[in-house]
Amino acid sequence: MPRSGPISLALPAFEGTTRKLILLNVGSFFGLLLLRWLAPQLQAVLLAHLILEPLAVLHGEIWQLLTYSFVEQGILGILFGMLTLWFTGSLLEPSFGGRWLAELYLTSVIGGAILASAISFTHVLGLRPDIVAAGAWSGIFGLMVAIAMIFGDQEFLLWFVLRIKAKYMVAIYILIAIAILLKQADSFNALIQLSGALCGALFVKFAPRRGLAFAASEQYFGVRNRYYRWKRRRAARKFEVYMRKQNREVHFDKDGRYVDPDELRKNPNDKRWMN
């Protein structure tokens, strides 16, 4: 449910999936930074295969749809990005769980990359499939849109200065991304952010309350159990045919479970045989 209350300047809890995502991003940032000094040529090769380039994805480097989000080349980008991820993730995770948060983040990252890469081949707004992009902001935009949809009246300090409701704060971020896209200054990164926001909104709108993985596992076990019941019923029918050939009568219920003949003879209206 949407929540509204006084703004606290205290940092939120650093735990769960939010912490793991931040540590992955920070670890990859410093790992690549260290590699830049120890083995610059290796770092350049890694970057070429980790950042997102739609043309490379088309040629088989599909891992870029995920890995680009863990490549951040600027100190300010990693700083503000991880702070935003910390605040947004810590607001969503207690209400929906770590699995749901991870699925929302990855849906925004991967879905945003797929959508933006597909649009880049249209060459609209000066986009080209050989333009590269990196950074976690597609996933962060997905989290921010989720907060706007779920906790829209929750108040934040925009840039730690302005008191503003979540839905208006997210609208400002989206308008900035649209302006960058139309200005064609850093259009592909802006497009990925907007695509991530759209994928995040679709996830919140249509994904099951307990996440896609849980729904998929429930579906799998449901199909498996129906298959087992079908096998049991088929085996029961075969056994009934066999027993009739032996001049014996056996009975099974609709799920293929054996029914004791004494149970069939009991009168359901006679309460004496009930415990």
Query: What SS3 class is residue 186?
Result: coil
Q: CB neighbours (10 Å) of residue 230?
A: 12
- What is the value of pTM for the model shown? 0.77
Q: Where along the chain do its domains lie? A: 16-207, 215-273
Which of 73, 67, 88 is closest to 18 using CA atoms? 88
pLDDT at 242: 72
- Confirm if 142 and 105 have CB atoms less than 8 A apart: yes
pLDDT at 3: 45
pLDDT < 70: residue spans in the chain = 1-10, 158-161, 209-224, 230, 251-252, 255-256, 258-275
**92-96-99 Cα angle (round to 5):** 100
pLDDT at 231: 75
pLDDT at 245: 73
* CATH superfamily entry for domain 16-207: Rhomboid-like (1.20.1540.10)
Q: Is the dihedral of CA 49, 54, 57, 58 positive or negative?
A: negative
Give the up-direction half-sphere exposure of residue 181: CA atoms within 13 A in the CB hemisphere.
19
Q: CB neighbours (10 Å) of residue 152?
A: 15
pLDDT at 184: 74
